[in-house]
Amino acid sequence: MVTGASSGIGRAISLRLARDGVRVLATGRNEQALKSLVKEADGAGLALDHFPADLTDADEQSGLLDAVHGCLGAVSVLVHSAGAYRRGQLAGARVADLDLQFAVNVQAPYTLTQRLIPDLRSTSGDVVFVNSTQGLAASAGVSQYAATKHALRAMADSLRAEMSSNGVRVCSIYPGRTATPMQEKIFQAEDRTWRPDCLLWPDDLADIVAHTLALPARAQVTELTVWPTHRP
Ligand SMILES: NC(=O)c1ccc[n+]([C@@H]2O[C@H](COP(=O)([O-])OP(=O)(O)OC[C@H]3O[C@@H](n4cnc5c(N)ncnc54)[C@H](OP(=O)(O)O)[C@@H]3O)[C@@H](O)[C@H]2O)c1
């Protein structure tokens, strides 16, 4: 199961895993975007299921879990790519924005992972958290987002410590700026010219996830930081 699959990094990961023969259920809120992903997969001869859900809504999460179990049986790979980003200096940022980012970036992956623990245990599965370099060191203007990503790192570290005896591997990936709709909005907010050629591409991260998952079960990549070579 891949969250955030309707756009950007999660979309690229979904297609790449499907290309590698993984049965993927792609989720996000935007059903049209998910349908266009399925169409692209179909066109390439790949099978990919989708189910729209707002991950901050417990009932919608339940529906998603029913769907994923109906489609795939027990989940053996869980990729958390859904994320929300809001800017603002701590002096003036809205607490409502902190709540929103906490709900999407922390609580949703927490509860979803929690509800899939029996699957992950029984399959000795993999959990991949798409974190951010802001989850390692916070810049000015993103205290809320960075705080949620630091929390996500902590969640991944505890989960790994708790689950490795079951053969469950947990990987946090910390990408720098990546050419996605989220990053394009960030460029706009920073009043910068959009230069996707200077950024990571979603496919770069999809390759990394695919290679990480393809390692033999005895080896796990725990953390990986990826920067654009030419930082914009
Ligand atoms: N782009 C970057 O430069 C960059 C760098 C470092 C880390 N990241 C992280 O990478 C991840 C993917 O980001 P991206 O750049 O690919 O952004 P994106 O293109 O904006 O995609 C974000 C995804 O999150 C989903 N999402 C947001 N709120 C949701 C909710 N309440 N319920 C379900 N899904 C929700 C969106 O789906 P819907 O809109 O369909 O709900 C969308 O599929 C995020 O965790 C982000 O923090 C991005």
CA distance 222 to 101: 24
- In-domain check, residue 52: yes
- In-domain check, residue 3: no
102 is in which domain, residue-wise? 8-226
CA distance 117 to 114: 5
How many domains does the chain fold into? Answer: 1
- In-domain check, residue 164: yes
- In-domain check, residue 37: yes
- In-domain check, residue 171: yes
Interval 178-206: pLDDT, tens: 999 999 999 999 999 999 999 999 999 99
- In-domain check, residue 153: yes
Percent of the chain with pLDDT over 70: 100
CA distance 164 to 121: 10
What residues does ligand 1 touch, defined as CB less than 6 Å away?
A: 3-4, 6-10, 28-30, 33, 54-56, 81-85, 104, 130, 132, 175, 177-178, 180-183
**CATH number of the domain bearing residue 54:** 3.40.50.720
Query: What is the set of active-site residues?
Result: 145
Interval 88-147: pLDDT, tens: 999 999 999 999 999 999 999 999 999 999 999 999 999 999 999 999 999 999 999 999
